């Protein structure tokens, strides 16, 4: 699917004076909201959306700073703000009860939302939580070199040097089977990163890694306290969000089920879309 074809599936919603790209599809009674990962976009779900939308009304949005959404230069890109943006989109769409699915970067946004849910701070019933390959336990994560550089003091300069070759090489390296990602897919993903001068904010959105340390007690604490039934769907051979993270989460979250995807890397919805969808819908 091309970048333009994906863009044509969505709409733009204004939240806090910023334009956010949103896809809202499917006519099922139950609603699935999805929080995508870093540094990509909702495009990560183009292979699985047709099947998911047979079972759910599916709502995805590009976080601020990602994909087709606005990418302001004078913005903190805090994960707490991203959580607020997500909640306001869902409120704008009239959602009252959802299943919340999150991957990678999106899992930290999800844990902030769970923390607010635990404290009765939001008017939203989260029926189920699905967590996929995210480094919530940042102390166990195996960060890529480029991630470490972008979040550091010289991140602004590293971002200027970032190009398609570096991006494609790093993305291929987090697949278990590198043949599962095509040159065309990588080009579409890079186009969406560059959209709206996106290269200029890469170092800003990369600060989320530091936030995972800062808010560790709040976010891991929220998972330990939540009463939301949780499914942990984890690609076992992820070189970044390693399997030890999933194993630890399974000991901490009160009401959970851990499901493994074998021989699969960091983007299971792209690398093994059918198997991943089966586990999500199980």
Give the model's pLDDT for residue 111: 98
Any idea which of 8-12, 155-159, 231-235 has the lowest mean pLDDT?
A: 155-159
- CB contact at 8 A, 16 and 88: yes
Closest CA to 47 of 273, 266, 264: 273
- CB contact at 8 A, 118 and 49: no
Q: How far apart are CA 158 and CA 86, in angstroms?
A: 29
Q: How far apart are CA 182 and CA 247, in angstroms?
A: 31
Is 94 a residue whose pLDDT tops 90? yes
Rounded mean pLDDT, 63-67: 98
Rounded mean pLDDT, 42-50: 98
Give the model's pLDDT for residue 206: 87
Contacts of 87 (CB under 8 A, 6+ apart): 113, 116, 122, 124
Give the model's pLDDT for residue 114: 98
Q: 232-267 pLDDT, tens per residue? A: 999 999 999 999 999 999 999 999 999 999 999 999
Contacts of 138 (CB under 8 A, 6+ apart): 209, 212, 213, 216
Any idea which of 36-45, 162-171, 250-259 has the lowest mean pLDDT?
A: 162-171
Q: 75-91 pLDDT, tens per residue? A: 999 999 999 999 999 99
Give the model's pLDDT for residue 163: 87
Q: Would you mind telling me the total number of residues written for the chain in this entry?
A: 282
Rounded mean pLDDT, 58-76: 97
Percent of the chain with pLDDT over 90: 86
Domains of the chain (ranges, CATH numbers): 3-281 (3.40.50.1820)
Give the model's pLDDT for residue 159: 56
22 confidence band (pLDDT: 50, 70, 90):
very high
Give the model's pLDDT for residue 150: 57
Give the model's pLDDT for residue 207: 87
Contacts of 223 (CB under 8 A, 6+ apart): 111, 114, 136, 230, 249, 252, 253
Q: How many other CB atoms are found less than 10 A from the CB of residue 163?
A: 11
Dump the DSSP string for the chain: --HHHHHHT-EEEEETTEEEEEEEE---SSEEEEE--SS--GGGGTTTHHHHHHHSEEEEEPPTTSTTS---SS----HHHHHHHHHHHHHHTT--EEEEEEETHHHHHHHHHHHHHHTT-SS-EEEEEEEES--SSGGG----HHHHHHHSTTHHHHHHH--HHHHHHHHHTT-SSGGGS-HHHHHHHHHHHHTTTGGGGHHHHTTHHHHHHHTHHHHHHHHHH--S-EEEEEETT-SSS-HHHHHHHHHHSSSEEEEEESS--S-HHHHSHHHHHHHHH-
Strands 230-235 and 256-261 turn out to be: parallel
Average pLDDT for the chain: 94
- pTM of the predicted model, to two decimals? 0.94
């Amino acid at each position: 699917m091309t970048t333009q074809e994906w863009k044509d599936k969505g709409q733009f919603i204004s939240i806090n004076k910023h334009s956010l790209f949103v896809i809202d599809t499917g006519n099922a009674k139950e609603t699935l909201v999805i929080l995508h990962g870093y540094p990509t976009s909702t495009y990560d779900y183009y292979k699985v959306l047709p099947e998911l939308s047979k079972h759910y009304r599916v709502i995805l949005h590009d976080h601020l700073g990602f994909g087709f959404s606005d990418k302001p230069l004078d913005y903190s890109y805090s994960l707490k703000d991203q959580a607020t943006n997500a909640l306001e989109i869902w409120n704008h769409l009239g959602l009252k009860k959802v299943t919340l699915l999150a991957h990678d970067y999106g899992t930290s946004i999800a844990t902030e939302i769970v923390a607010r849910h635990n404290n009765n701070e939001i008017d939203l019933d989260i029926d189920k939580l699905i967590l996929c390959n995210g480094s919530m336990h940042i102390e166990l994560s195996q960060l890529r070199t480029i991630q470490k550089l972008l979040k550091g003091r010289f991140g602004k300069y590293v971002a200027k040097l970032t190009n398609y070759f570096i991006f494609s090489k790093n993305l291929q390296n987090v697949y278990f089977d590198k043949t599962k990602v095509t040159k065309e897919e990588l080009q579409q993903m890079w186009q969406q990163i560059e959209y709206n001068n996106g290269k200029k904010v890469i170092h800003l959105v990369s600060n989320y890694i530091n936030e995972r340390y800062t808010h560790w007690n709040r976010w891991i604490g929220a998972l330990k306290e939540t009463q939301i039934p949780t499914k942990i769907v984890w690609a076992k051979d992820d070189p970044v969000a390693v399997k030890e993270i999933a194993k630890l989460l399974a000991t901490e979250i009160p009401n959970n089920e851990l499901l493994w995807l074998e021989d699969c890397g960091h983007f299971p919805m792209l690398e093994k879309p059918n198997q991943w969808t089966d586990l999500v819908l199980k």
